[in-house]
A and B are shown apart, each in its own frame.
Chain A
Amino acid sequence: MSDLVNVTIDGVAVAVPKGTTIIEAAKQAGVLVPHYCYHPSLPSPAVCRMCLVDVEKAPKLLPACVTTVAEGNVINVNNEKSKKARESVLEFLLINHPLDCPICDQAGECELQDYVFQEGRANTRYGDYAKRFNPVEDFGPDVLYVANRCILCTRCVRFMESVADEPVLNVSERGDRAFIGIDPDHLLTHPWSGNVVDLCPVGSLISKDFLHKARAWDLDKTASICPGCTQGCNTMIDTRDDIVVRLRPRANLEVNRHFICDTGRADYRWMNRGDRIEAPLVREGGKLIPTDWDHALARLAELTRGARSIVILASGRASTESLGFVRRLADHGTVTAAVKVPLGTEAPLAGVPNLALRKERAPNLDGARLAGYAATWAGALAAAPGADLVLVLDADIDDAEAATLARARSAVVIGTVDDDRIHCANLLLPTTNMAEENGTYVNRDGRVQRYYQAKAAPGMARPAWWIAAEAGHLATGASAPKTAAAAFATLSSSMPGLGGLTYADLGHTGRVVSPATTGAAR
């Protein structure tokens, strides 16, 4: 145990590995050291002086973010000396900070606001002096810089320099004139530069997209997974009154650390689409007639039972549960199952190994592979006209594909968005999109990760696994799971690739079930 160091922080004894900083050791002891410039995914310059703590026998306060613990350290984060130091630092920060919280996007999730409220002075001693003023600057496609609110923690500068490897930001001028400067010829156009908005502890770097859209305390936050590519970055979906208004990264040190790319961040509007299929539609005498689930499911069971060859055209955004149960519907016949994989250009984040916006712009290709979606999209399309039944699972259908679909003997679409192109189907079943259901995705490294329901499903929409499982029950008598957890457990006990895992095993950061593959689905 010689590589462990014993320290006492605010009276709590902890043993931490040698080389741990005080601020990280304090987290182990359940103590938050207030800080601005420190961030676990960035190098620490110790410039903000907020994390100064009292270490017994040390002559002066020490910065917790860069000081490593030593055997027997007794550290006081919340004694009079440390608190006094923080109060002074906060007073300095507030000399030039505007009192514009009522119109500031960061209010409610602002670290300056929080710490001043906790342990700052109740009033100012600088009331007679005018505050420094600088105009708001445009920093790039989605970033505004409000210089007046800046506390110069330099997190944004260090992110662009050390993580994004595109150092376009700097600290310009000095002393009370200092501000964050930008190279006028290179705005924040790096594909991951939106992270500076999350990194900013105050309302200085703000998102144009989210500007004045919602107050932090009106938002409901739901843990989710970015459906943008096979990377599977952990995200937080923020909704206001059941409308998704923002996506932010959620920490997962194994996958995306604290970052998501700008493409993933901006791609949420489809979750709010209003042009949805809201009731099951069944073809009666050449017309699609709204019906209830009992009739719709009976029709689906009847269509699948009678089909000996089935083609499944699925979206790469479908959950593992949905892919698995839809695939099961076809188990009795010959199956050609494929997922659609939109392609884009790869955009890596230089400072984090194995993190990039991937070429394959669908989140669950490995889940599809595990569930037996082995055909290529082109192969499945070619087989569609000759099959007894074509099952479309929320895949985007373009004009050419719609023409192929129209030639199918029989087609069922389990879909979200209502579109003329899928009106040739015999049965249209409304399903939830990923923001409206619980489910799992398997990322490119075989990590099974959960996402949670963030908003209500429209109309009669149900998760696709529920639709498929209920129809399967009518067709074969197999028992149908009633929750996503039960659906996953059922699949995982029969699919060797999922290793018998349950939702309880996955936690908030997921579990790796299969070694990294450049799998067949790709």
Chain B
Amino acid sequence: MSGTAHAARHDAPDQPVFVGQVKDKLEALFPSYPTRMACLLPALWMVQEARGWISPDAIAEVATVLGLTPAYVRGVATFYTMYHLHPVGRHFIQVCGTSPCHLCGSDEVMKAILQQTGCGEVGATSPDDRFTVIEVECLGACGFATPILVDDDFHDSVTPERVAGVLARYP
């Protein structure tokens, strides 16, 4: 999913998201929900998949497509932390920082990632727009510290030494 969707996402930032296949995909979902309003979360995911982030224009578009108001869509989009309301890099890296991983050295992993991606600090995007790195709570792999998520790919047992190898797979 990550490969194709993310490759396409910077293609046409000013064009509507819900055209062609994406539109069909959304409309196929409508029967599964009691109302169009209930379809809001998947619709926002589709925007994020296509564009990497959810812009004010995209919020307006989702509102139109689902018959809601931009204010309501914005309220929902800001409620959930996993929707990006600002542009992020081509690849989004989430590093676990919860207690077990922290004890096993997740902060060293984080340091290595920040340094090798060139992001510099948590939450920032690298100057080449390639990566954005954030710290997250438990990724559910405490026995395999330190787990990281790159886009939708899961990597466990990451150590500072393995960072370069993982990053190399995401041009």
Interface residues of A (CB under 8 A from B): 167-174, 181-186
Contacts and interface: CB of A to CB of B under 8 A. Distances in A.
A183 B74 CA distance: 8
A174 B71 contact: no
B126 to A, nearest CB: 26
A168 B68 CA distance: 11
Given A167-B71, A170-B71, A170-B74, A184 B56 contact: yes
A181 B56 CA distance: 13
Interface in B78-97: 78-79
Contact of A172 (B56, B60, B69, B78): B78
Nearest to A173: B78
B67 interface: no
Contacts of B56: 184
B68 to A, nearest CB: 9
Specify which of B60, B69, B71, B74 lies most central, judged by the most chain A CB atoms within 10 Å of its CB.
B71
B72 interface: yes
Given A183-B70, A183-B71, 11 more contacts: A168-B69, A169-B71, A170-B72, A170-B74, A171-B75, A172-B74, A172-B78, A174-B79, A181-B74, A181-B78, A183-B74
Contacts of B71: 167-170, 181-183, 186
Nearest to A185: B70
A134 to B, nearest CB: 13
Interface string B48-69: 0000000010001000000001
B139 to A, nearest CB: 21
A169 B72 CA distance: 8
Nearest to A177: B78
7 contacts: A167-B71, A169-B71, A171-B75, A172-B78, A174-B79, A181-B74, A183-B70
Nearest to A182: B71
Interface in B94-122: none
Contacts of B70: 183, 185-186
B69 A173 contact: no
Contacts of A173: 78-79
A167 B79 contact: no
Nearest to B75: A170
Contacts of B69: 167-168, 183
Nearest to A184: B56
A154 to B, nearest CB: 10
Interface centre among A168, A170, A171, A182 (most CB of B within 10 A): A170
A171 B75 CA distance: 5
Contacts of B75: 170-172, 181
Contacts of A186: 70-71
Contacts of A184: 56
A186 to B, nearest CB: 7
A481 B79 CA distance: 65
B99 to A, nearest CB: 21
Contacts of B72: 167, 170
A128 to B, nearest CB: 24
A184 B56 CA distance: 9
Contacts of B78: 172-174, 181
Contacts of A183: 69-71, 74
A173 B72 CA distance: 12
Contacts of A182: 71
Contacts of A172: 74-75, 78-79
Interface string B104-146: 0000000000000000000000000000000000000000000
Contacts of A167: 69, 71-72
A172 B83 CA distance: 13
Nearest to A170: B75
A174 B71 CA distance: 15
Contacts of B79: 171-174
A181 B78 CA distance: 10
**Closest A-B pairs by Cβ, 3 of them:** A170-B75, A183-B71, A172-B78
Nearest to B80: A174
A419 to B, nearest CB: 46
A183 B70 CA distance: 6
A167 to B, nearest CB: 5
A169 B71 CA distance: 6
Contacts of A181: 71, 74-75, 78
B66 to A, nearest CB: 14
A185 B79 CA distance: 20
B4 to A, nearest CB: 32
B80 to A, nearest CB: 8
Contacts of A169: 71
B32 to A, nearest CB: 25
A173 B79 CA distance: 4
A182 B71 CA distance: 6
Nearest to B70: A183
B41 to A, nearest CB: 15
Nearest to A179: B78
Most buried by B among A168, A173, A183: A183
B164 to A, nearest CB: 36
A162 to B, nearest CB: 13
A173 B74 CA distance: 9
Contacts of B74: 170, 172, 181, 183
A167 B78 CA distance: 17
A185 B78 CA distance: 17
A167 B56 CA distance: 17
Contacts of B60: 185
B73 to A, nearest CB: 8
A314 B11 CA distance: 69
A59 B28 CA distance: 45
Nearest to A172: B78
Most buried by B among A168, A169, A173, A182: A173
B3 to A, nearest CB: 32
Contacts of A170: 71-72, 74-75
A178 to B, nearest CB: 8
